[in-house]
Amino acid sequence: MIVRPEMRAHMKRKRSMVTLVTVSLLMAVMGTMNAAAADKKDKAVGRLLYGKVLDHQENPLTNAVVYVTNTRTRAVKTYIVGQDGTYRFPALSNAVDYEVYAQHNGHKSDTKSVSQFDDRSEVYITLKVDTR
């Protein structure tokens, strides 16, 4: 079979175009996979719940105990606050509702909720305990 020079040039351009399209599609697929992996990695880390425990005069309550309850399993995590009254619960599941409250010397704060539908990765809650 004899191929004319103009046909040879046309076939070469066509192969180049097919190669270009194939490489472009592969890059698009790889980019989508990387974005999905990054998104999954971010979600695996979970949510951070943090805040302060204060008395009725807005002073930090040293040694107050903060309780976080997973409303699905009823599992409870605790944290004893330090001098500055802060608490921190990292890596909580985004797919679960939580309830949080504090206790100090037999007095309890109101119970606050963190909803699974709240899409914040960090949730700050101030818990006030009336120690009077």
Confidence of residue 42 (pLDDT cuts 50, 70, 90): very low
Give 107's DSSP letter.
E
> What's the token pair of residue 87?
């608490």
Q: How far is CA 16 from CA 7, 12, 13, 27, 113, in A?
A: 14, 6, 5, 16, 59
Q: Is the pLDDT of residue 36 over 90?
A: no
Mean pLDDT of 56-63: 94
Q: What is the pTM of this model?
A: 0.66
Q: Is the pLDDT of residue 95 over 80?
A: yes
pLDDT, tens digit, 9 for 90 and up, residues 101-119: 999 999 999 999 999 999 9
In angstroms, rounded to a whole number, what is the distance separating the alpha carbons of residues 64 and 81?
A: 6
